[in-house]
Amino acid sequence: MPSRTSADYKETLVLFICTGNFYRSRHAEAIFNWHALEKGLSARAFSRGLLTSIVADEPTLISTDTHERLTTLGIPLELTGRAPVQLQLKDLKKAHHIVALKKDEHYEMMQSSHPEWADKINYWHFHDIDFEEPHTVLPKIEDEVRNLVEKLTKR
């Protein structure tokens, strides 16, 4: 499957946001793109982080937990971005549907960085690795992403 980015599509764009754009948002992005492609849905996801500097010293460009889970599911890593990317205003403006992965964690960060957008996005409630193990949270994210894909399919 050829590598694609959100710039390659004219379809609906879904933006997933987390703190480092290293773990949860990258997983949601790949899962969404996989299911959207499987269903022939004209929507694609991309992901960004609110504080990507926190993962700058990581030895990998994506969480090993996300990498392992996607590999186990048979989902190509090309369905997520190549590396963590810092959220910018242009990302918010081009997205049609925006999800931050944990309201308790990301709402205040959105208030600080993009206050005009903080109340315009959807917030899910998925803990980072310091509060919940990847083997339990990643499948929960997958379920919620599948629900989102189903909603968009019915439009």
Domain coordinates in residue numbering, the chain: 10-154
CA torsion sign for 20, 24, 29, 34 is positive
* pLDDT tens column, 2-13: 334 444 446 789
How high is the pLDDT of residue 127?
Answer: 82
Residue 12 has what pLDDT? 86
Nearest to 23 by CA among 95, 130, 147, 149: 130
Which pLDDT score, from 0 to 100, does residue 58 have? 84
Report pTM. 0.90
Q: What does CATH list as the number for 10-154? A: 3.40.50.2300
Distance CA 67, CA 89 (A): 28
Measured distance CA(133)–CA(82) in Å, rounded: 24
Give, in order, the Cα–Cα distances in Å from 56 to each of 48, 61, 65, 99, 132: 14, 9, 17, 23, 22
The predicted structure's pLDDT at residue 103 = 94
How far apart (Å, rounded) are the C-alpha atoms in residues 51 and 64?
Answer: 19
Q: Identify the segments of the chain with pLDDT beneath 50.
A: 1-9
| pLDDT at res. 10 | 62
pLDDT value of residue 5: 44
- Give the tokens for residue 28: 């949601």
d(CA 46, CA 92): 11
Q: Residue 3: what pLDDT?
A: 38
